[in-house]
Structure 1
């Protein structure tokens, strides 16, 4: 038995309608924006989702470090464990992104286990197999006392049947809104807890996949994992999940879970839209700067990374602009000579930050924070 999808309240319907409107507006804005900086925004959002979802599980890597790791940079100051977890989750997310427009797509046990292998294959062991249903009991322990089980998942013998039921549910269209179905899929999978490890990230990944399959926004703009990874939201995430009970009880009303996810959808859309607008304004300010200072316009890409993320590496700039090594080095040396950028570190580990003559207007725009609305307070 799975959790039944609850009916939406009038307030829920209003918030969901607002999310639909905001996402549709963002889609049209993205379609008309220059590819140069929207491409950078896509990469940032992917890295931010990976960093946030991993942080929920205790793997702490900053978004800018994740961006560098994804770009293939080897000299990033992170532990080998965090590097492995980051690259594994990025691989999983990349595959999920490619599935958003597959015409003959269907959910299956094989697909879910394959995604789990991408995520956990580097940790595969006889007692904690990757890409296979768990063979024993699994518990979510209390963060303050690991001798107490905050949640006990269904017994291992029940997992194949529950997962068969979930796969059937995933493949059958219903009258529920796709965003509501995606939230319910997350709850179903994390409650069944079918694997020995990685259940939280897999459940969030499934939600991201279902939103991406909806097709309103490109997959990079579809995840709420970055929102879930903010400390206050992570705490509430665990609280809401915890209030479903200490064991598998699917015959209950989970309206609170839906409301929590609707807030996440709304505020993450606000966040992405704000970064889109801010990123565009920074790009324009830097383009004006290059014109005034007679700097090659392609250097906007490097300066934009510095303004929005705090630093740029030669390898990322080289990739973004399709340059060879010598061209990229020459460009960055020119910005250092002009004191627009300042180098940090030596040789391969070197990166660049804002120098004394970096345009202040661009930094001011980039560093102006966004105020998020509570969608339920608004209705």
Structure 2
């Protein structure tokens, strides 16, 4: 038995309408901007998703370091464990993102176990096998006291049946909104806890997969994993899961879980829209500055990354602009000589931040924080 899909209240429906309006607006905004620029934003948002979801499980790598690892950088100062977890999550998420338009796609136990192997294969062991249902009990411990089980998952001999029921539900259409179904898929999977490890990330990734299959907006613009990874939101996420009780009780109302997810969708859409607006404003300011300073337009991508993200590496700039190694080195050297960039670190691990002559108005635009609204307060206000 799975949790029943709860009816939406009038306020829920109003929030959902607002979310859809923002997502459609983002879709048009993405289509209206240069592919090179949106590709960079997509990569950053994917890195943010990976960093945030891993941080919930205790693997802490900054978004910018995740992006460097995704670019193939070797000299990133992270532990071997965090590097492995980051690259494993990237491989799985890359595959999830490619499934958005597969015409004969179906959910299956095999698919879910294969995704789990991508995520946990490097940790495969007899006691915690990857890509296979667990053979014993599993507990989620209280974050404040590891000796207390905050949640005990269903017995191992029930997992195969419950996962079969989940797969059937995933391949059906109960008429619920796709974003609501994605939120429920997350809750179903994390409650069944079918694997010995990696259940939280798999559940959040399944939600992202359903969003990708919806096809309205690329999943990196809609995934709520980055939102869930913010410390305050992570705490609320745990609290919301704990509302379900200490054992699996699927015969309960999960309306509060849906409201929690609708809030997450709404605020993540606000965040992405704000980042796009800010990035576009930075680009326009840099175009104006480049015209006055006589800079080649291609160097704007390096300056843009420094303003918006905080730094740029030679390899990233080289890939973004399709340059040779020598061209990229020369451009960055010239930007350092002009005082626009400042090098940090030794040769192989070097990256660049803003130099003393970097235009201050551009940095002011880039670093002005945004304000997020509370969708349920606005809906009833």
Corresponding residue of 1:84: 84
Q: CA deviation at 1:26?
A: 1.0
Equivalent-residue separation in structure 1 for 2:29 and 2:328 (angstroms): 31
How big is each residue's C-alpha offset from its partner over 1:142-169, in whole Å with a ceiling of 9 and x where there is no partner? 1121111000000000000000000000
Q: Distance in 1 between matches of 2:367 and 2:123?
A: 39
1:145 and 1:39 map into 2 onto residues whose CA distance is 43
* CA distance in 1: counterparts of 2:117 and 2:222, whole angstroms: 23
**What corresponds to 1:134 in structure 2?**
134
Counterparts of 1:274-289 in structure 2, within 5 Å, are 274-289=274-289
> Which position in structure 2 is the counterpart of 1:334?
334
1:38 — aligned with what?
Answer: 38
Contact 1:314 1:351 in 2 (8 A): yes
Q: What secondary structure is seen at the aligned counterpart in 2 of 1:252?
A: coil
Structure 1 residue 154 and structure 2 residue 171: aligned?
no
Contact 2:222 2:268 in 1 (8 A): no
Alignment partner of 2:303: what SS? helix
| Counterpart Cα distance in 2 of 1:227 and 1:144 | 22
* 8 Å Cα contact 1:37/1:283 also seen in 2: no
The 3-state SS of whatever aligns with 2:145 is coil
Cα distance in structure 1, aligned partners of 2:297 and 2:348: 25
- Cα distance between partner residues in 2 of 1:297 and 1:366: 19
Q: How does 1:144-293 map to 2 (within 5 A)?
A: 144-293=144-293
Cα offsets for 1:262-312 (capped at 9, x unmatched): 000000000000000000111111111111111111000111110111100
Q: Which runs of 4+ in 1 moved over 6 A?
A: none
Matched, 1:94 2:94: yes
- 1:36, distance to aligned residue in structure 2 (A): 2.3
CA contact (8 A) 1:37 1:279 kept: no
**How many residues matched?**
379
Q: Which residue of 2 aligns with 1:7?
A: 7
Q: Which residue matches 1:26?
A: 26
Match of residue 378 from structure 1 = 378
Q: What CA distance in whole angstroms lies between the structure 2 residues aligned with 1:145 and 1:268?
A: 31
Distance 1:281 1:128 in 2: 48
Provide the secondary structure at the position in 2 that maps to 1:147.
strand
Q: How far 1:113 moved relative to its partner?
A: 0.4
Higher mean alpha-carbon deviation, 24-33 vs 175-184, is at: 24-33
User: Aligned runs of 1:328-367 on 2, under 5 Å?
Assistant: 328-367=328-367
1:218 Cα shift?
Answer: 1.4
* Residue number in structure 1 paired with 2:309: 309
Quote the Cα distance in structure 1 between the aligned partners of 2:180 and 2:219: 17
Alignment-derived partner of residue 321 in structure 2:
321
Aligned to 2:140, the other structure's residue is in SS state: strand
Cα deviation, residue 132, structure 1: 0.4
For 1:57 and 1:8, locate their aligned partners in 2 and report how far apart those are by CA, in whole Å.
Answer: 31
In structure 2, distance between residues paired with 1:15 and 1:9? 10
- 1:61-72 superposed matches below 5 A: 61-72=61-72
TM value normalised by structure 2: 0.99
**Cα offsets for 1:163-195 (capped at 9, x unmatched):** 000000000012100000000000000000000
Q: CA deviation at 1:219?
A: 2.2
Question: What CA RMSD, in Å, does the superposition of the two structures yield over aligned residues?
Answer: 0.6
Contact 1:128–1:196 at 8 Å: present in 2 too? Answer: yes
Alpha-carbon distance in 2 for matches of 1:202, 1:358: 42
